[in-house]
Amino acid sequence: MADIVLCECFARDGLQHEPVFVPTALKIELIDMFTAAGFPRIEATSYSHPGQVPAFRDASDVLAGINMRPGTFYKATCPNLRAVDRALANTAVDRGASEFSLLVSATESHTARNLHTNRAKQWQNVADMCARAGGLVRLVGVISVAFGCPFEGKVDQGEVIDDVAHFVELGARHITLGDTTGLATPRTVATLFKRLTEEVPDAVPIAHFHDTRGTGLANCLAALDAGCTHFDSSFGGVGGHPAEIEYGTGYTGNVATEDLFNLFEEIGVSTGLNPDLVLAASRRCEAILGRQLRSSVARAGYGMKLMERHHV
Amino acid sequence: MADIVLCECFARDGLQHEPVFVPTALKIELIDMFTAAGFPRIEATSYSHPGQVPAFRDASDVLAGINMRPGTFYKATCPNLRAVDRALANTAVDRGASEFSLLVSATESHTARNLHTNRAKQWQNVADMCARAGGLVRLVGVISVAFGCPFEGKVDQGEVIDDVAHFVELGARHITLGDTTGLATPRTVATLFKRLTEEVPDAVPIAHFHDTRGTGLANCLAALDAGCTHFDSSFGGVGGHPAEIEYGTGYTGNVATEDLFNLFEEIGVSTGLNPDLVLAASRRCEAILGRQLRSSVARAGYGMKLMERHHV
């Protein structure tokens, strides 16, 4: 029995900003490797407009092609009601996405820049999507810039907690707290996750940190110690916010799955993943993108405990 | 008043395995920048045999050329009695190294492979060096593979604590705990530093982590939370153990100074460093080595608190 729930984000968050289209067959191969490695949650694709995000123009083909393991959740990102309708048209008990994720930003400035709307309208959009999809799939709320905003700086934790409560009211109990530009610190992480446990006990918070300033793993550990059980990461740290393009502020990619898996297992936190298949998936992600990615463990190998369980 | 003491290791640990000789004038320029930025401890050079480690064949010239700030400690690595004699010949109240560092390995296997001797003989070597230099400069003991050994695996913390106590008996109260191949975890770090506080209260432990598996900052934070006040790092993460050469196990460089400084200041731990001069030194280190180094903050900039204090 695993102590925590890791979500592998490579196939959606990871590929969203890649300049090259990854063929559908390779996406399916990768997601099947993630399933085999034991990830209980997998970001599979996005129902963003195919013209705007062509990387996922094959969303339904990917979902139709993968081998779904019962009990594993496959997530599709849905930015609007049209996306929800497209996703639902491809969803049944035994196929399609089993989670839809729905996004808000914690600040007005980031909402304007990133979502081209305001928070009130985006919450209405989210409410409409929840009404349409609620009861059919598991809903996952996402709050970006939850730990700090590149435009407004500090973000009030009380307002983030209100957003979490709002998602829960709308039927989305799982809520991803996104550190979009890497401004979280282990202290702000500890405070927010502790407060969430106390103030919104019905919520299941998901930690989603970007490694912008090297603190990704330290923040995950702070969240773990504050009671968080759900974590997002992607192989090789691929994906995250393209701030290097938008704001010129350096890499803001995801925490590398290989490194997070190693950290947790080495401190005795069971992830339920198979160490051989994790490294096999890591190698395949690098091969498919054709470059060395940002995992330290992919280069150095596992620490002492995993080394004993690693056979390949 | 700073809460903690950072030691900048670029000029010695960082340059030790660089393939190119950095001219003496540039080393002096860098160390002067580190002094100006406010580092209270600076690894300046090594009195290793100039034929074996030609990078430091200019050890005495570097120490004679730098602008020493009163109260700042400048460290020279001394592998043997001959090195201590050479270092002492260039030491006076107002010049030369004010710290000598003396190395043991926590395991017999690593002692054989890295120091080409056994632990008993190396401790005798260290005792001889302490007898010669004690009272003339501050002595710093270094224990490598203190958190795990690439050959023997787990290292008994009781034996590491005995080594620390042994250094204290020999007059070296400051003792660096080296995680040579990145096998420490935040949990083993917390345990060891807590035990040291209780079991060898006269010792001043120094945390020296390598970022082999991405856990460098998380380990520093665990040490801080366990009461550690002294930390080693190097600009751009340069240096560390050349395991990629010796063992083929990937990068095992130092924690990047820029990232550690940012983490500490962002959580309210004062380092006493000037944020403008830290980034200026970071840029100069990259310019002198002629490549992008491994600091995330050098790319992304500071977090929210330091951003407000950063003017350049």
Q: What is the pLDDT of chain B when averaged over all its residues?
A: 95
Query: B308: closest CA among A304, A154, A206?
Result: A154
pLDDT digits (tens, 9 = 90+) for B107-147: 999 999 999 999 999 999 999 999 999 999 999 999 999 99
pLDDT digits (tens, 9 = 90+) for A132-163: 999 999 999 999 999 999 999 999 999 999 99
Is residue B242 less than 8 Å (CB to CB) from chain A?
Answer: no
Count of CB pairs separated by less than 8 Å, A with B = 117
Query: A144: closest CA among A45, A211, A210, A226?
Result: A210
Query: B14: closest CA among B302, B303, B296, B288?
Result: B288
In this model, does residue B12 exceed pLDDT 60? yes
Give the H or E element holding residue B138: strand B138-144
The C-alpha atoms of residue B192 and residue B184 are separated, in whole angstroms, by: 10
pLDDT value at residue A56? 98
In this model, does residue B246 exceed pLDDT 60? no
Give first-to-last CA distance, chain A, whole Å. Answer: 23
In this model, does residue A306 exceed pLDDT 80? yes
* B250: closest chain A residue by CA: A300
Is residue A259 less than 8 Å (CB to CB) from chain B?
Answer: yes
**What residue ranges define each of the domains in chain B, with the CATH number in brackets?**
5-309 (3.20.20.70)
Q: In the structure, how many helices (H) and strands (E) does chain A have?
A: 13, 8
The minimal CB distance from A296 to the residues B211, B262, B303 is found for B211
Q: Hey, are the CB atoms on A295 and B214 less than 8 Å from each other?
A: yes
- Identify the band that residue B247 occupies on the pLDDT scale cut at 50, 70 and 90: low
Is residue B269 less than 8 Å (CB to CB) from chain A?
Answer: no
Is residue B87 less than 8 Å (CB to CB) from chain A?
Answer: no
The C-alpha atoms of residue B268 and residue B263 are separated, in whole angstroms, by: 9
- Identify the band that residue B245 occupies on the pLDDT scale cut at 50, 70 and 90: very low
Is residue B309 less than 8 Å (CB to CB) from chain A?
Answer: no
pLDDT digits (tens, 9 = 90+) for A281-299: 999 999 999 999 999 999 9
Contacting residues of A for B152, CB less than 8 Å apart: none
pLDDT digits (tens, 9 = 90+) for B161-206: 999 999 999 999 999 999 999 999 999 999 999 999 999 999 999 9
Strands (E), A115-203: 138-144, 174-179
pLDDT value at residue B235? 98
Mean pLDDT of B146-153: 95
pLDDT digits (tens, 9 = 90+) for A57-93: 999 999 999 999 999 999 999 999 999 999 999 988 7
Q: Hey, are the CB atoms on B299 and A250 less than 8 Å from each other?
A: yes
Q: How far is A282 from chain B (nearest CA, A)?
A: 15
* B150: closest chain A residue by CA: A304
Q: Hey, are the CB atoms on A185 and B266 less than 8 Å from each other?
A: yes
pLDDT value at residue B252? 78
> Does A312 or B97 have the greater pLDDT score?
B97
Q: Per mean pLDDT, which range of A112-116, A187-191, A225-229 is the poorest?
A: A112-116
pLDDT value at residue B163? 98
Q: Hey, are the CB atoms on B300 and A213 less than 8 Å from each other?
A: yes
- Identify the band that residue A245 occupies on the pLDDT scale cut at 50, 70 and 90: very low
Q: How many CA atoms lie within 13 A of B299 on its CB side?
A: 21
The minimal CB distance from B186 to the residues A249, A267, A302 is found for A267
Give first-to-last CA distance, chain B, whole Å. Answer: 23
pLDDT digits (tens, 9 = 90+) for A181-214: 999 999 999 999 999 999 999 999 999 999 999 9
- Identify the band that residue A241 occupies on the pLDDT scale cut at 50, 70 and 90: confident
Q: Which residue, among A246, A254, A304, would best test binding to B if mutated, counting the most B CBs under 10 Å from its CB?
A: A304
In this model, does residue A251 exceed pLDDT 80? no
Q: How far is B126 from chain A (nearest CA, A)?
A: 30
The C-alpha atoms of residue B143 and residue A193 are separated, in whole angstroms, by: 37
Mean pLDDT of A217-237: 98
The C-alpha atoms of residue A290 and residue A295 are separated, in whole angstroms, by: 15
Q: How far is A35 from chain B (nearest CA, A)?
A: 24
- Identify the band that residue B248 occupies on the pLDDT scale cut at 50, 70 and 90: low
pLDDT digits (tens, 9 = 90+) for A7-27: 999 999 999 999 899 999 999
pLDDT value at residue B175? 98
In this model, does residue A246 exceed pLDDT 70? no
Report whether A104 contacts A146 (CB < 8 A): no
pLDDT digits (tens, 9 = 90+) for B264-291: 999 999 999 999 999 999 999 999 999 9
In this model, does residue A262 exceed pLDDT 60? yes
The C-alpha atoms of residue A69 and residue A129 are separated, in whole angstroms, by: 26
